[in-house]
């Protein structure tokens, strides 16, 4: 059975920077830089321009990952695309990325799978991609996380609790087969559907007829409570801390690891306070953590692959290092993975 290692990483963030103060000055949200910084650690985020979807952000990230892996489109056997902000209800973003990258132009009709696990999407996707590689089914799986949140944020004072947290961006990795003693060692995934509506963006309700109410002209009417994300911030905070620590301890126990064995902790970036609280609880040194929430906010499924790609680019993540990636998000869903780089 081959091992599954990460052979290349890439990322892309849109160029437009939106600072906390600009949320107030440009969008008229009643907020302050101080409030957002103190509560979340976020200083600024990126917003994509109109006309840009998650597959557009994913393309340069994926191309960078392929370049860094020394591979071409023909080498890729499958696309796994993690996002909570797909272009449309269906099809998923994976097929848009496939078409944009030129797979179809060369007649390379690889399967494309979308993963819908929000902030845990990358870790769920990694487990999926690694399983496919370790089973011998595929040699190289392109795994991306990409989000365009800015289009679906209520950028008004009413929506400020959620709108101040999220940003746009994309990260990608190639998961490849190897006979070397390295790669994805294992993972622990979990979910608790009792909290499905504690953090959600419903938009429609497929149990209703029609699924979106219509006016007398047959035009769909989405009320604000359905259109925008709903979040109980305090409940999310509490569960994120418990579940991220739990998932990390589960993979540590399964692989007989201790904190000292890990060289780099790559945590989902929902809130700097969540991650600092966990770091203090487990007693890990700050220099073993990478962070980008200050610059990008919460980029959901894109967060962990962006962190990995930045860490490689900066020389902080090198061959032989042991990485612990941990995520928590809507669902609630969570996961942790151990990777020998
Ligand atoms: C969202 C979060 C920062 C809010 O912090 P909090 O200390 O819990 O603050 P609260 O929600 O209790 O709000 C306190 C007050 O600040 C206000 N507020 C909310 N967002 C604000 C903003 N951007 N600017 C200014 N005030 C804001 C609230 O309206 C509330 O006002 P009120 O007391 O008059 O009603 C925090 O709960 C959090 O980070 N939770 C986790 C969220 C998360 O990680 N989500 C993604 C998961 S993957």
pLDDT digits (tens, 9 = 90+) for 187-207: 999 999 999 999 999 999 999
Q: Whose CA is nearest to atom 29 of ligand 1?
A: 161
Half-sphere exposure of 231 (CA within 13 A, CB side): 23
- Do residues 119 and 303 touch, judged by C-beta distance below 8 A? yes
Rounded-to-integer distance, Cα 91 and Cα 145, Å: 16
Which tokens sit at 169?
């961006």
pTM of the model: 0.98
In 3D space, the residue among 159, 41, 148 whose CA is nearest the CA of residue 93 turns out to be 148
Catalytically annotated residues: 119, 268, 298
In 3D space, the residue among 47, 18, 46, 21 whose CA is nearest the CA of residue 34 turns out to be 21
Q: Identify each DSSP E strand in 202-249 by its residue range.
A: 230-231
In ligand 1, the atom with minimum distance to the C-alpha of 39 is 3
pLDDT value for 155? 98
Ligand 1 pocket, CB under 6 A: 31, 35-36, 39-40, 119, 160-161, 164-165, 231, 233-234, 236-237, 240, 270-271, 298, 329
Every domain range in the chain assigned CATH 3.40.47.10 = 3-180, 184-196+229-340
Compute the distance from residue 233 Cα to the ligand 1 centre, in Å: 6
Is residue 45 exposed (0-12), middle (13-18) or buried (19+ Cβ within 10 Å)? buried
pLDDT value for 13? 98
Rounded-to-integer distance, Cα 206 and Cα 220, Å: 14
Rounded-to-integer distance, Cα 21 and Cα 23, Å: 5
Which tokens sit at 119?
């902030």
Compute the distance from residue 332 Cα to the ligand 1 centre, in Å: 19
Rounded-to-integer distance, Cα 39 and Cα 196, Å: 24
Q: DSSP label at 217? A: T
Q: Whose CA is nearest to atom 35 of ligand 1?
A: 161
Q: Whose CA is nearest to atom 13 of ligand 1?
A: 161
Q: Whose CA is nearest to atom 44 of ligand 1?
A: 270
The CATH fold of domain 184-196+229-340 = Peroxisomal Thiolase; Chain A, domain 1 (3.40.47)
CA-to-CA separations, 39 to 156, 159, 235, 316, in angstroms, rounded? 19, 16, 15, 27
Phi, psi of 103 (to 5 degrees): -60, -45
The CATH fold of domain 3-180 = Peroxisomal Thiolase; Chain A, domain 1 (3.40.47)
pLDDT value for 15? 98
Given a cut of 70, the residues of the chain with pLDDT beneath it are none
In ligand 1, the atom with minimum distance to the C-alpha of 236 is 41
Q: Whose CA is nearest to atom 45 of ligand 1?
A: 270
Task: Please list the residues that pair with 295 across neighbouring strands.
Answer: none
Rounded to a whole number of angstroms, the CA Rg of the chain reads: 19
Compute the distance from residue 283 Cα to the ligand 1 centre, in Å: 27
- Do residues 8 and 67 touch, judged by C-beta distance below 8 A? yes
- Do residues 139 and 5 touch, judged by C-beta distance below 8 A? no
Q: Which of 82, 161, 330 to mutate to test the pocket of ligand 1 (most atoms within 8 A of CB)?
A: 161
Cis status, amide bond into 271, omega within 30 of 0:
no
Q: DSSP label at 289? A: B
- Do residues 143 and 172 touch, judged by C-beta distance below 8 A? yes
Compute the distance from residue 207 Cα to the ligand 1 centre, in Å: 31
pLDDT value for 14? 98
Q: What angle do CA 181, 268, 151 make, to 5 degrees?
A: 125
In ligand 1, the atom with minimum distance to the C-alpha of 31 is 24
- Do residues 32 and 91 touch, judged by C-beta distance below 8 A? no
Q: Quickly tell me which residue has 């042991």 as its tokens.
A: 322
pLDDT value for 93? 98
Which tokens sit at 319?
């061959």
Rounded-to-integer distance, Cα 147 and Cα 169, Å: 6
Phi, psi of 60 (to 5 degrees): -65, -30
In ligand 1, the atom with minimum distance to the C-alpha of 234 is 37
């Amino acid at each position: 059975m081959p091992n599954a290692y990460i052979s290349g990483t890439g990322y892309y963030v849109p160029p437009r920077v939106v600072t906390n103060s600009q949320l107030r000055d440009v969008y008229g949200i009643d907020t302050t830089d101080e409030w957002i910084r103190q509560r979340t650690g976020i200083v600024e985020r990126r917003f994509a321009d109109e006309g840009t979807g998650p597959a557009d952000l994913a393309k340069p990230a994926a191309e960078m990952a392929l370049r860094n892996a020394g591979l071409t489109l023909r080498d890729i056997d499958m696309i796994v695309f993690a996002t909570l902000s797909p272009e449309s209800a269906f099809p998923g973003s994976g097929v848009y990325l496939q078409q944009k990258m030129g797979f179809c132009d060369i007649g390379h009709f690889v399967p494309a799978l979308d993963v819908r696990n929000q902030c845990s999407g990358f870790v769920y996707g990694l487990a999926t991609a690694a399983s496919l590689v370790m089973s011998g089914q595929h040699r190289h799986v392109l795994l991306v996380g990409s989000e365009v949140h800015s289009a679906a944020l209520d950028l008004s004072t009413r929506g400020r609790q959620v709108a101040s947290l999220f940003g746009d961006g994309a990260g990608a990795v190639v998961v490849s087969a190897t006979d070397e003693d390295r790669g994805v060692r294992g993972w622990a995934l979990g979910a608790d559907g009792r909290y499905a509506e504690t953090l959600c963006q419903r938009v429609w309700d497929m149990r209703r007829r029609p699924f979106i109410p219509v006016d007398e002209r047959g035009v769909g009417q989405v009320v604000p409570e359905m259109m925008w994300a709903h979040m109980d911030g305090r409940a999310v905070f509490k569960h994120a801390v418990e579940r991220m620590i739990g998932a990390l301890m589960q993979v540590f126990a399964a692989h007989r690891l201790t904190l000292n064995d890990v060289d780099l902790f790559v945590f989902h970036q929902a809130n700097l306070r969540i991650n600092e609280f966990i770091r203090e609880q487990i007693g890990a040194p700050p220099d073993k953590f990478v962070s980008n929430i200050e610059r990008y906010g919460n980029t959901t499924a894109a967060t962990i692959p962006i962190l990995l790609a930045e860490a490689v680019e900066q020389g902080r993540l090198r061959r032989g290092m042991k990485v612990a990636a941990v995520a928590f998000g809507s669902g609630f869903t969570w996961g942790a993975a151990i990777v020998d780089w």
